[in-house]
Amino acid sequence: MLKVNSRNTMVRSLSCLVAMLAMGLAPGLARAQEASTAPAAGQAPVPYASINELNGILEPLKQTAQSMQSDLAKARIEKWKTDSATKKQALADIESIQRNLQSTLPETMTQLNNSPEDMAMSFKLYRNLDALYDVFGSVAELAGAFGSKDELQSLGNDLNGLQTSRRAFADRMQRLAANKEEELTRLRTQVKTLTAAPPPPPTKIVVDDTEPPKKPVKKKVTKPKPPATTPDAPPTK
């Protein structure tokens, strides 16, 4: 199994920072969500610039991984001018690297493509790159000391490509961590504002049960009808 470089304190410190901020804000965020009457907003889409940046790192990394597999397969460890124990260790390292390049690395890159700004997955990929760089660097160093010039040249080029991808991804993680910290700071301020504000006073409902005075009913005066008049009788002849 590949081991992570213990000297990489930058990644661990950033990881701890994000984890501590998230843990510290969790209770307050829960209370804020209960207090707020506004509907929860959906998760913001990942910016195109961030996706484009990630693709610009992963595509060269894929090419480097393919070149590493090809060059390791061409290496003739049995012809190295060294003892059998060193050859045995080199073969074991190469086998471990090949398994990583064929399985672990592509799976992790696929997962990160599905969630480009997932911090946990980003750290997972970086730790894998860091481990690959350490073990592959050891094999390249042995090839320079005991192998052929062609092996030294090809493995050295692969190591440089891996280092470039590792540095580029470290810079990306640093920017992501800074953005997450800024977002957590904003949320923490929002939580403090919501939890410090007094609750709104209860709404009072006033019921008026007094009946309004009744208006007097006016009697309708009926006017007498005039007497009916009969027409005059015609004169008699």
Does 85 score more than 60 pLDDT? yes
Min mean pLDDT across 31-35, 169-173, 202-206 is at 31-35
Residue where the block lists tokens 């092996």 = 151
pLDDT at site 237: 52
Residue 151: how many other CB atoms lie within 10 Å = 23
Does the pLDDT of residue 14 top 60, yes or no? no
Longest dimension (CA), the chain: 171
- Flag whether the pTM goes above 0.75: no
C-alpha distances (whole Å) from 114 to each of 78, 118, 122, 218 are 42, 9, 12, 83
Domain assignment present for residue 186? The answer is no
Residue 122: inside a domain, yes or no? yes
Q: What is the pLDDT of residues 154-168, one digit of tens each?
A: 999 999 999 999 999
Q: Is residue 150 part of a domain?
A: yes
41 belongs to a structural domain: no
In a domain, 147, yes or no: yes
Place 70 in a pLDDT band, splitting at 50, 70 and 90.
very high
For residue 32, which amino acid is it?
Answer: A
Query: Which residue would you say has higher pLDDT here, 76 or 13?
Result: 76
Please check whether residue 129 lies inside any domain of the structure: yes
Q: Which residue has the higher pLDDT, 207 or 163?
A: 163
Q: Has residue 140 been placed in a domain?
A: yes
Domain containing residue 79: 72-176
SS (H, E, C) the chain: CCCCCCCCHHHHHHHHHHHHHHHHHHHHHHHHHHHCCCCCCCCCCCCHHHHHHHHHHHHHHHHHHHHHHHHHHHCCHHHCCCCHHHHHHHHHHHHHHHHHHHHHHHHHHHHHHHCCCCHHHHHHHHHHHHHHHHHHHHHHHHHHHHCCHHHHHHHHHHHHHHHHHHHHHHHHHHHHHHHHHHHHHHHHHHHHHHHHCCCCCCCCCCCCCCCCCCCCCCCCCCCCCCCCCCCCCCCCC
Is the pLDDT assigned to residue 227 strictly greater than 90? Answer: no
What is the mean pLDDT of the segment spanning 172-183? Answer: 89
Q: Would you place residue 233 in the very low, low, confident or very high pLDDT band (cuts 50, 70, 90)?
A: low
Structure tokens at 216: 């007097």
Work out how many domains the chain is built from and give that number: 1
In a domain, 211, yes or no: no
CA distance 128 to 219: 101
